[in-house]
């Protein structure tokens, strides 16, 4: 009873002095806050759980498991190489498919934008049967290579992240700090630790950034792949837009380029990738086999089977590949001049071949003539396929490549002219010293062969 009267007293005394009521209600605010906080946590949990249920295809593992068998086969036949694309960034994985003996002439195939090494799997097989060591890479942003990288720190783009991402962030923070963390802070300081929350969110925020490939990045990728796989001196095969991407690397490294073969090369890719920039159209084109198939048959190849087109669509679309490819498209050097490039002192001495479609459009025939005129010293041959000939005409293509490569002086000679590294010279001397000749040769064969000296050693 005493309590009741006291309460009554309080309400009575409150009425004449309403201003006193305000600070009281503010000190009570932790309780409604606590209620809403719990509600938000429960909601966030619910949203988070349902999100992870619906977005299973976004993680690489389940994406891989959803691939059609030929693509999975291609992946398991190849390997990945760590490559540092930009200084100061963590290395990314680049996928390569290989065939043939490592003692043969080495051919490195670089696909155009929107394609991948998968398109050249038959060409690699044909090259192998002709005694060529073929390697096809997936440029970063394409095929099975990394297409995006994790950026930590986020920066000031806080407004750009969507509601769902924000809920995930807050949820993560609660998971880490515990549900009572913000509550405790509030009782201590009387306010929510907004600054602390924002600081923590920013430091923990990770976002996926598409890897956009320009000629500088491509140069680093090519250099490191050739180094890692010991492909120098290398015969380059540049298909489609790969010419513009690789041209700078060739100019900078003519001493390790055995030859360059251009396959229907142009600055702009055959696949009109710019349409993948347009909302709605891109969803339709990449979302359905029918739309993408139309695009391919219109511009790239009329001879491809539906299953092959479908494989390319899946590879292009998967793991935010569209963003990467559209980003790389923007970086292409549209003022690239093939005559100027090939006429430079560095490129002048490199043997060149042009393989061009003979059944293409009139426009493409003219482009071929233009390229032939720009490269007066190059060998010019035509194939019966379209701008993407590598799948339907793989044998024809591999025939031209192997014929050209094997008519050139053996690559070994190019390398022998250079001074032999000290450690290799030592091995050679040891081997020549006789005695345990066989043993030495056997033990170091791989090493010396890497420098193209294996044959001299056996004689
Ligand atoms: C673009 O191409 C032009 C003409 O070939 C060349 O002079 C220029 O250096 C290229 N730019 C880049 C960034 O490679």
What is the 3-state secondary structure of the chain?
A: CHHHHHHHHHHHHHCCCHHHHHHHHHHCCHHHHHHHHHHHHHHHHHHHHHHHHHCHHHCHHHHHHCCCHHHHHHHHHCEEEEECCCCCCCCEEEEEEEECCCCCCEEEEECCCCCCHHHHHHHHHHHHHCCCEEEEECCCCCCCCCCEEEEECCCCHHHHCCHHHHHHHHHHHHHHHCCCHHHHHHHHHCCCCHHHHHHHHHHHCEEEEECCCCHHHHHHHHHHHHHHCCCCCEEEEEECCHHHHHHHHHHHCHHHEEEEEEECCCCCCCCCHHHHHCCCHHHHHHHCHHHHHHHHHHHCCCCCCHHHHHHHHHHHHHHHHHHHHHHHHHHCCCCCCHHHHHHCHHHHCCCEEEEEECCCCHHHHHHHHHHHHHCCCCEEEEECCCCCCCCCCHHHHHHHHHHHHHHCCCHHHHHHCCCCCHHHHHHHHHHHCCCCHHHHHHHHHHHHHCCCCHHHHHC
Would you say the CB of residue 340 lies under 6 angstroms from ligand 1? yes
The number of the ligand 1 atom at minimal distance from the alpha carbon of 335 is 2
Would you say the CB of residue 301 lies under 6 angstroms from ligand 1? no
pLDDT score, position 23:
46
Q: Closest Cα to atom 6, ligand 1: which residue?
A: 336
Domains and CATH numbers, the chain: 31-66+154-204 (no CATH), 67-147+212-412 (3.40.50.1820), 428-452 (no CATH)
The number of the ligand 1 atom at minimal distance from the alpha carbon of 247 is 14
User: How many of the other CB atoms lie within 10 Å of CB of 252?
Assistant: 12
Residue with tokens 């120098």: 232
Q: Closest Cα to atom 2, ligand 1: which residue?
A: 336
**Using CB atoms within 10 A of its CB, is residue 26 exposed (0-12), middle (13-18) or buried (19+)?**
exposed
The number of the ligand 1 atom at minimal distance from the alpha carbon of 337 is 5
Binned average pLDDT, 10 residues per bin, the chain of 459 residues:
43 44 50 74 70 56 85 92 88 92 89 92 93 94 87 55 69 72 73 70 72 90 94 93 93 93 90 84 82 85 86 86 86 89 89 89 89 91 89 90 87 49 63 48 38 39
pLDDT score, position 52:
55
Residue 311 CA to ligand 1 center (angstroms) comes to: 34
CA 226/CA 218 separation, integer angstroms? 12
CA 166/CA 207 separation, integer angstroms? 12
Q: Is the dihedral of CA 196, 199, 202, 205 positive or negative?
A: negative
Nearest to 258 by CA among 378, 412, 104: 412
Would you say the CB of residue 336 lies under 6 angstroms from ligand 1? yes
Nearest to 400 by CA among 29, 67, 51, 107: 107
pLDDT score, position 423:
64
pLDDT score, position 75:
92
pLDDT score, position 432:
56
Are residues 80 and 96 in contact, defined by beta-carbon separation less than 8 angstroms?
Answer: yes
Would you say the CB of residue 337 lies under 6 angstroms from ligand 1? yes
Are residues 190 and 302 in contact, defined by beta-carbon separation less than 8 angstroms?
Answer: no
Would you say the CB of residue 344 lies under 6 angstroms from ligand 1? no
CA 412/CA 20 separation, integer angstroms? 94
**Ligand 1 site-directed mutation target among 336, 338, 344, 375, most atoms within 8 Å of CB:** 336
Alpha-carbon dihedral of residues 33, 36, 37, 40, nearest 10 degrees?
-160
């Amino acid at each position: 009873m005493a309590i009741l009267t006291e309460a009554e007293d309080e309400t009575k005394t409150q009425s004449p002095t309403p201003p006193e009521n305000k600070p009281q209600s503010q000190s009570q605010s932790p309780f409604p806050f606590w209620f809403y906080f719990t509600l938000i946590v429960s909601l966030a949990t619910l949203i988070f759980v349902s999100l992870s249920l619906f977005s299973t295809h976004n993680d690489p593992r389940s994406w891989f498991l959803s691939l059609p068998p030929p693509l999975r086969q291609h992946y398991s036949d190849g390997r990945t190489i760590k490559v540092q694309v930009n200084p100061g960034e963590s290395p990314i994985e680049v996928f390569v498919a290989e065939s043939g003996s490592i003692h043969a002439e080495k051919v490195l195939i670089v696909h155009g934008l929107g394609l991948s090494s998968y398109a050249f799997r038959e060409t690699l097989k044909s090259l192998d049967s002709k005694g060529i060591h073929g390697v096809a890479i997936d440029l970063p942003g394409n095929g099975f290579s990394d297409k995006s990288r994790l950026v930590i720190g986020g920066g000031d783009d806080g407004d750009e992240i969507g509601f769902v991402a924000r809920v995930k962030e807050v949820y993560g923070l609660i998971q880490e700090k515990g549900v009572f963390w913000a509550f405790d802070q509030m009782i201590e300081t009387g306010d929510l630790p907004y600054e602390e929350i924002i600081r923590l969110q920013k430091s923990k925020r990770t976002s996926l950034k598409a890897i956009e490939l320009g000629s500088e990045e491509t140069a680093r990728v090519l250099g490191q792949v050739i180094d890692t796989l010991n492909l120098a001196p290398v015969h380059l095969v540049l298909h489609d837009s790969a010419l513009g991407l690789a041209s700078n690397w060739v100019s900078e490294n003519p001493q390790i380029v055995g030859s360059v073969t251009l396959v229907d090369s142009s600055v702009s890719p055959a696949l009109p990738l710019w349409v993948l920039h347009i909302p709605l159209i891109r969803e339709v084109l990449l979302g359905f086999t029918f739309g993408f198939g139309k695009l391919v048959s219109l511009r790239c190849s009329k001879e491809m089977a539906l299953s092959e087109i479908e494989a390319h669509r899946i590879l292009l679309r998967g793991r935010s590949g569209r963003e990467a490819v559209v980003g790389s498209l923007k970086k292409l050097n549209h003022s690239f001049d093939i005559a100027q490039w090939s006429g430079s002192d560095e490129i002048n001495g490199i043997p060149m071949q042009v393989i061009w479609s003979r059944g293409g459009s009139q426009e493409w025939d003219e482009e071929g003539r233009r390229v032939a005129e720009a490269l007066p010293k190059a060998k010019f041959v035509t194939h019966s396929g379209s701008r993407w000939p590598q799948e339907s005409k793989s044998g024809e293509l591999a025939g031209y490549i192997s014929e050209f490569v094997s008519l050139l002086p053996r690559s070994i000679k190019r390398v022998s002219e250079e001074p032999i590294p000290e450690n290799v010279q030592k091995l050679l001397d040891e081997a020549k010293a006789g005695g345990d000749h066989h043993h030495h040769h056997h033990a170091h064969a791989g090493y010396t062969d890497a420098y193209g000296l294996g044959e001299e050693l056996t004689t």
